[in-house]
Amino acid sequence: MTGFDFLSGRRPPTYAGKAMVATSHPLATAAGLGMLAKGGNAVDAAIAASAVQAVVDPLMTGIGGDCFALYAPKGGKVMALNGSGRAPAAATIDALKDAGLEDHIPQTSPHAVTVPGAIAAWCRLHADHGTLPLADLFAPAIAYARNGFPVTPRVAQDWAEAAELIAGDEHAATVFLPDGKPPVAGARHAQPLLADRLQEIATKGPAAFYQGPTAAKMVAHLRSLGGLHTEQDFADATDGADWVDPISASYRGYDIHECPPNGQGLAALLILKIIEGFDIAAMPPADRVHLQAEATKLAYHHRDELLGDPAGCPDVVETLLSDPAIAALRARIDMTRAMPPALWDEPEHKDTIYLCVVDGQGNAISFINSIFHGFGSTRLDPATGVLFQSRGASFRLIPGHPNAIAPGKRPMHTIIPGMVTQGDRVVMPFGVMGGQYQAAGHAAFLSALIDQGMDLQQAMDQPRSFATEGRLDVEASMPADIRDDLAARGHAINVLATPMGGSQAIRIHADTGLLEGGSDSRKDGMALGY
């Protein structure tokens, strides 16, 4: 522990001795803590927090989205849950070409809507590792959806920025633009139909969402928009979440765990392995930013070319994390100049929520849920109140590509929970929001902790940068002299008008058992414990 500058204007880390919840929304954090107080475990708290956030942060997440989790039960191995949805059985490149699509799938197209995987994931996680009744876990979210909740400042800002997009769907506009405009901070907002859906799931489980009248209504609406979805596609997703083996790589004595493809966690591991060969602790700030940028371009180039549904990219993890591959990538970095832009032709991936929990028994969960773009596809079913994700927009329409759309296929995902272990103990569940930035964000955050010795909140609050689409995006808080240095090396500097992403983490200190929590000041949330 180091001294804290209370004149800096930034928040300090949160400390607790028994249990902690860290989310990007205060009501979600409170819901998670409430479940722990009722005797629930980390899984119960995570599901309750995510359900609340699906109501109170509707542009970032929802029951019409997807979910991934890393769960580390006390004394057990890290497990990965893939709760990402699949393309309809009729979704082929030819079918989409016949529907008038040429080289990409637009955000608002019904073909961007994959069958939502979040509810299957929540229910699978609960059935296998939860302790409290599902009805208890959903109760806070149901109450907020039915009775209303106060809109927080960051949510209000993002909501306002998406207003024009929401207006393009009459049903989404009815729900999310009351009186024709987005709610301001402090205004109350409710979604009674969403409350009904959550109540159905709490009572009857995932079948209430994926089968029967609710599924039939969702399918009918999607088909009215030109979608290829069928009731069988939804029914097949009832038990669609899969436990899979996580992937991992070492970094300076720690093991970093990520979900395997179809997630982009491999890109985070690639960046870490590349930069591990440099003495980052001794570098000046501009060198660190440059190194991160160059390693990011290398890792993301390979992500874009090689990652997709795991069935379509066998052995890619082992190949890219091999010593010869890492050495070859590392050798391409020139610390004096920026590389030519790597291939960038993925759509923007922006909107996600991440949370983590450590409970009193020592169980830890790293949990992420998303509807992809802000307000997903913007397509809202007026009969059920479900807002659909746009994850299918990341599919390629290129025959033979690992991420080419195909029947029942999962698209490449940007949302990635992370977990750090050392030996047989859990060190930290962590995650970074911000779409494409997430893999680069994982590496930058961990390097700040491990290489620079920062506390969690310092590591989260430092100015962010991201090499993307031939430019280097930097937050306005990046000092001007560092920006000038980077520009001299050939980086095309783009100063962002808004913050880049968000993050949460809970670090477990081995010597004392102390829990140190952080929640990104770029969002409304907080880390709280007891």
Q: Any idea which residues carry the catalytic annotation?
A: 352
Which residues, 6+ apart, have CB-to-CB distance to 293 below 8 Å?
A: 338, 465, 466, 467, 472, 486, 491
DSSP annotation of 65 reads S
3-state SS, residue 46: helix
User: 70: which 2 tokens?
Assistant: 């890393």
Query: Secondary structure of 283-321 in the HEC alphabet?
Result: CCHHHHHHHHHHHHHHHHHHHHHHCCCHHHCCCHHHHHC
Residue type, 383: A
User: 301: which 2 tokens?
Assistant: 């180039």
Is the distance from CB of 351 to CB of 53 less than 8 angstroms? Answer: no
Work out the number of other CB atoms within 10 angstroms of the CB of residue 226.
11
User: 362: which 2 tokens?
Assistant: 């020592």
DSSP annotation of 9 reads S
Can you give the length of the chain in residues? 530
As a whole number of angstroms, the distance between CA 60 and CA 25 comes to 11
Burial of 143 (0-12, 13-18, 19+ CB in 10 A): middle
What phi and psi values does residue 95 have, to the nearest 5 degrees? Answer: -65, -40
- Strands 471-474 vs 493-495: parallel, antiparallel or unpaired: parallel
Is the distance from CB of 30 to CB of 524 less than 8 angstroms? Answer: no
As a whole number of angstroms, the distance between CA 146 and CA 199 comes to 10
Is the distance from CB of 25 to CB of 56 less than 8 angstroms? Answer: yes
Which residues, 6+ apart, have CB-to-CB distance to 327 below 8 Å?
A: none
Is the distance from CB of 447 to CB of 439 less than 8 angstroms? Answer: no
- Strands 425-433 vs 149-150: parallel, antiparallel or unpaired: unpaired
User: 88: which 2 tokens?
Assistant: 């309809």
Work out the number of other CB atoms within 10 angstroms of the CB of residue 5.
10
